[in-house]
Amino acid sequence: MKIDNINSIGVLGAGIMGSGIAQCAIQAGFKTVVRDLNQDICDTAIETIIGGRFGFSKAVEMGKMSQAGMDHALSMLNLTTDVADLKDCDLIIEAIGGGADGATENKPLKLSVWQEMDDIVKSDAVFASNTSMFTIADLAAATQRPERFVGMHLFSPANIMKLVEVTRTQDTLEEVVELIVALSERWGKTPIVLKDVPGDKGFVGNRIMAAVRREATQIIDEGVCSREEINLAMTLGFRWPAGPFPGGAGKRGWN
The predicted pLDDT at position 143 comes to 98
- The pTM assigned to this predicted structure is 0.92
Q: Which residues contact 208 (CB under 8 A, 6 or more apart)?
A: none
- What's the CA gap between 193 and 186, in Å, rounded? 16
The torsion angle over the Cα atoms of residues 31, 192, 138 and 208, rounded to 10 degrees, is -130
For 83-95, b where at least 16 C-beta lie within 10 A, e where not — what string? bebbeebbbbbbb
For the chain, where do the domains classified as CATH 3.40.50.720 start and end? 3-195
* Gap between the Cα atoms of 65 and 61, Å rounded: 8
pLDDT above 70: residue 254:
no
Q: Which band of pLDDT confidence, cut at 50, 70 and 90, is reported for residue 221?
A: very high
Q: Which fold has domain 3-195?
A: Rossmann fold (3.40.50)
Instruction: List the 91-94 sheet strands across, edge first.
Output: 77-80, 31-35, 8-12, 91-94, 126-129, 149-154, 163-168, 190-195
pLDDT band for position 1 (50/70/90)? Answer: confident
Looking at the predicted structure, is the pLDDT value of residue 13 above 90? yes
Distance CA 159, CA 122 (A): 27
Averaged pLDDT for residues 14-22: 96
Nearest to 93 by CA among 20, 41, 199, 42: 20
What's the pLDDT tens digit per position in 138-190? Answer: 999 999 999 999 999 999 999 999 999 999 999 999 999 999 999 999 999 99
User: Cα(206)–Cα(208) distance, rounded to whole angstroms?
Assistant: 5
Structural contact between residues 33 and 86, judged by C-beta atoms closer than 8 angstroms: yes
